[in-house]
Chains A and B, each alone.
Chain A
Amino acid sequence: MIDQTTEQATIAREELPAPGMTSRAWTGLTRFCRTKPLGAIGGLIVVMLVLVAALAPVLSPYDPRSTPALPWEAPNSTFILGADYVGRDVLSRLLYGARISLYVGMGSVLVGITASFIIGVALTYIGGIVDTVSQRIVDALMSLPGLLIALAIMAVVTPSLNTVILAIVIGMIAPVIRTVRSQVLSLRELDYVTAALAIGAPPWRIILRHIVPNCFATYLVLATYYLGFAIIIESSLSFLGVGTPPDQPSWGGMLVRAASAHVKSGPWLAIFPGLAIFIVVMGFNLLGDALRDVFDPRLRGR
């Protein structure tokens, strides 16, 4: 009887976490903004990116594929950021471009970092010859820059947003596996894992209850950094003309025409898409730095 009431009380407490949770999250958020102003700016940039991507159809004055302006029309009151080489509105294409950057970035990171985590954790636990051989494969993959791997993949697939994601994922997987592996190896030596082993916990329990939750911070930090990386690679591929199909308004693709023959015709085309990439990548980097500091106090102020 007594047991039951305590149990009910516990349930009741757990069922009503809402006000406590939100206020705790709020305190955490305000403290984050106060102690990490740069990280907060990064977070703000990321939130803005998500909003712009979600609201692109509402915010854009024109259809990104239509040609309402004259080719190379300079920025004016109707076309605030000017028009491109066929007369498409640069502002609308930039706003829609946020969707591509965000889609490719999120897609690559969700697939790439998650896959690397599963592979990394599994390898450390399987160990032995499998681990040794796969570490050499990781070495071999790491000898190639991410951009070059992505380029090679794009040579053998049909260009589309999803194949671009695949190309980026293959390029990021090796360094992430390496990081995860060293993290898991050091976690495995910790006392609470030894304790869990000693009371006879099976490997899956140790992995799921002790190793994986403690890798969460690493996951978040890596995901933030690699979002920036993925956006840079996507725009580089599009800039080189082998990435996102040209009809899609990718920021990197918008720069191509500006870079080539028409150097003198429209500086606005060279400035704004590049600025967009720069601001967004900067946002993810700032946020990543701040998150790393919060999770790993030893690295503060580096």
Chain B
Amino acid sequence: MSQYLVRRFLLFIPTMLLATVLVFGLFSIVPGDAAVFLLTGEDASGTVTNEDFERLREDLGLNRPIYIQYADWLWGVVRGDLGISLYYGQPFGLELIERFARTFELAVLAIVLAFVTAVPLGILSAMKQDSGLDYASRVIALIGIAMPTFWIGVLVIYGLVYGTGWLPPLEYAHLWEDPIQNLKLMVLPAAVIGFHDMAFTARVTRSAMLEVMREDYMRTARSKGLRELVVVGRHALKNAMLPVITVSGYQFGRLLGGVIIVEQIFVVPGVGNFLIDAINHRDFPVIQGVILMTAAVVLVLNLIIDMLYGILDPRIRYS
């Protein structure tokens, strides 16, 4: 058991390191480095003298060998120093963490909403296979998967503006200071993201349940006269939920991608606006920071899920 956990944890470290290499590497292979963008402006129309260019490169440390730059950056990251925004000229680590917390809250809320609706839907769908209800829930799942989240978001805003004259609130309330107002703000974007995820989770739940229903222990449970509720609740659900939870966990990264878009529509001051801003300004340290933080969250989450999975399912840790 502990051997499995240790092995899984040891796998996490090189993966995380490689993620930092990828994130750093991407911005080092850029044709023309950040100094060029900084000096020439966004539309590359400014004129630059060679001395300016060299001085800035030296200030930013871009004239050092690439591995030294990487080591320097990594050491900073380890100490919690993500560097200085090229555009605003200030450290951005604290703001990034604050914004990431909001994005994370939104994502968690979305996944909870998705789970609460998708799991019952998937179970019913599997138990009444090929019934009208099954088809209805499969159609909903198909629609949810194919609808781009930003379109759902735009439609919801339209519906609200037309129906109630409501406008997306511009004031953001903190979860700790005004939880009610915060949830009021968060619930719509969370529902929009959750709808997409719900479709996916319902599908996985349905197929996991169908798989489990064919198992021998289900026939045994029925033939010894257990009530259907017990059979489904205790025997089927327990076994079917494991893959559902794993898949949902792995979906979390994709969900964060959706959150970035939906934040734009609902004006949530999360990490999404920050990232798009940084991309438009070619503010590479900020982009690096956002991506690194996402990778870290997803990898840690995957680690936790795998460990839980190892604890819950003995088949995993002995294989």
Contact = CB atoms under 8 A, between A and B. Distances in A.
A302 B210 contact: yes
A259 B150 contact: yes
B4 to A, nearest CB: 17
A285 B142 contact: yes
Interface string B226-258: 000000000000000000000000000111111
Interface of B: 11, 14-16, 18-19, 21-23, 26-27, 29-30, 129-130, 142-143, 145-148, 150-151, 153-155, 157-158, 161-162, 206-207, 210, 253-258, 260-261, 264-265, 275-276, 278-280, 282, 284, 287, 290-291, 294-295, 298-299, 302
Chain B interface SS verdict (over half): helix
A278 interface: yes
Most chain A CB atoms below 10 A, which of B15, B142, B294, B298: B15
A267 B287 CA distance: 34
B230 to A, nearest CB: 26
Contacts of A151: 260, 275-276, 279
7 contacts: A146-B257, A147-B261, A156-B27, A228-B146, A255-B154, A281-B146, A286-B142
Contacts of B18: 136-137, 139-140
Contact of A278 (B151, B264, B298): B151
Given A144-B298, A267-B162, A240 B157 contact: no
B244 to A, nearest CB: 14
A140 B206 CA distance: 30
Interface in A234-260: 235-236, 239-242, 252, 255, 258-259
A277 interface: yes
Interface of A: 136-137, 139-148, 151-156, 228, 232, 235-236, 239-242, 252, 255, 258-259, 263-264, 267, 270-271, 274, 277-278, 281-282, 285-286, 301-302
A148 B278 CA distance: 13
A39 B70 CA distance: 49
Rank and list the top 5 A-B pairs by shortest CB-CB distance, nearest first: A274-B151, A145-B257, A147-B257, A282-B146, A140-B18
A82 to B, nearest CB: 14
A302 B147 contact: no
Contact of B154 (A240, A270, A282, A286): A270
Contact of B279 (A139, A141, A242, A282): A242
Nearest to A145: B257
A278 B155 CA distance: 13
Contacts of B298: 143-145
Given A145-B256, A240-B264, A140 B19 contact: yes
Nearest to A274: B151
Contacts of B157: 259, 263
Contacts of A241: 276, 280
B279 A143 contact: no
Contacts of A270: 151, 154-155, 158
B143 A282 contact: yes
Contacts of B261: 147, 236, 239-240
Contact of A236 (B148, B162, B287, B291): B148
Contacts of B21: 140
Contact of B294 (A139, A145, A156): A145
Given A154-B279, A274-B151, A285 B146 contact: yes
Given A255-B150, A277-B151, A278-B147, A155 B142 contact: no
Given A148-B291, A156-B27, A282-B146, 10 more contacts: A136-B18, A142-B253, A145-B298, A148-B253, A148-B260, A155-B279, A155-B284, A274-B151, A277-B151, A302-B206
A267 B157 CA distance: 10
Contacts of A301: 129-130, 210
B189 to A, nearest CB: 13
